[in-house]
């Protein structure tokens, strides 16, 4: 996880911070709460669905490939979940706020959504994910990109970040740990 912090999370955070400061704290970056009730309502619905769907996709992929990286124990699963609690909002800030928001201003919302989502999915391949695992990230990237674009009110990273954390926890760390504990693998 240390390389992730240095190679991905710090540069993403720096790029977002520079854009935020350079743009005069622009609302399109999604740093505000948006319509708070709507953001929290979306998160309350999307998080459990994303968590369960991610576990199901991981189960299907694992059965196809015959291997799964499972946390060593409950402590490791909780540590990974905490890491994903930081990773999710940073990825959302970069891909939804900065890329999708910025490209939507330049070329329109559909183009911003399409490019940012494609880059989000393909970026996972740089982490040496297999193609099936990489393409599975579209099951997160597409709905979260649509939510960032289509939820009423000012853009906000709140709901999509919470849903992203849930999806990542279902696909990596706690999800695989639960699959192993339930003897589904």
Query: Does residue 136 surpass a pLDDT of 80?
Result: yes
Query: Does residue 2 surpass a pLDDT of 80?
Result: no
pLDDT value for 103: 97
Query: Does residue 21 surpass a pLDDT of 80?
Result: yes
Q: Where are the domains of the chain?
A: 34-65+73-181
pLDDT value for 173: 87
What predicted TM-score, i.e. pTM, was given to this entire model?
A: 0.94
Query: Does residue 69 surpass a pLDDT of 80?
Result: no
Spacing of C-alpha 89 from chain mean position: 7
**CA nearest 144: which of 58, 59, 49, 61?**
49
CA atoms within 13 A on the CB side of 177: 17
Q: In the chain, pLDDT over 70 holds for what percent of residues?
A: 99
pLDDT value for 5: 87
Query: Does residue 25 surpass a pLDDT of 90?
Result: no
Residue 141's SS3 state is: helix
Q: Give 172-184 pLDDT, tens digit per residue.
A: 889 988 888 888 8
Q: Give 71-125 pLDDT, tens digit per residue.
A: 778 888 888 889 999 999 999 999 999 999 999 999 999 999 999 999 999 999 9
Residue indicated by tokens 């289509």: 150
Query: Does residue 32 surpass a pLDDT of 90?
Result: yes
Alpha-carbon span 175 to 166, nearest angstrom: 9
pLDDT value for 78: 84
pLDDT value for 42: 98
Mean pLDDT value of segment 9-22: 96
């Amino acid at each position: 996880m240390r390389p992730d912090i240095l190679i991905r999370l710090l540069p993403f955070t720096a790029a977002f911070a520079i854009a935020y400061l350079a743009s005069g704290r622009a609302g399109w970056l999604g740093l505000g709460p948006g319509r708070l009730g709507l953001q929290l309502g979306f998160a309350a619905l999307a998080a459990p669905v994303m968590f369960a769907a991610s576990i199901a996709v991981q189960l299907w992929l694992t059965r196809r490939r015959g291997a799964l990286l499972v946390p060593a124990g409950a402590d490791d699963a909780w540590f990974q979940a905490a890491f994903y609690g930081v990773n999710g909002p940073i990825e959302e800030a970069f891909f939804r706020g900065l890329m999708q928001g910025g490209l939507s201003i330049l070329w329109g919302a559909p183009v911003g959504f399409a490019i940012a989502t494609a880059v989000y999915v393909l970026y996972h391949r740089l982490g040496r994910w297999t193609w099936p695992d990489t393409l599975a990230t579209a099951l997160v990237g597409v709905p979260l990109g649509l939510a960032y674009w289509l939820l009423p009110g000012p853009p906000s990273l709140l709901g999509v970040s919470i849903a992203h954390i849930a999806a990542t926890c279902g696909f990596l760390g706690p999800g695989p740990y639960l699959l192993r504990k339930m003897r589904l693998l």
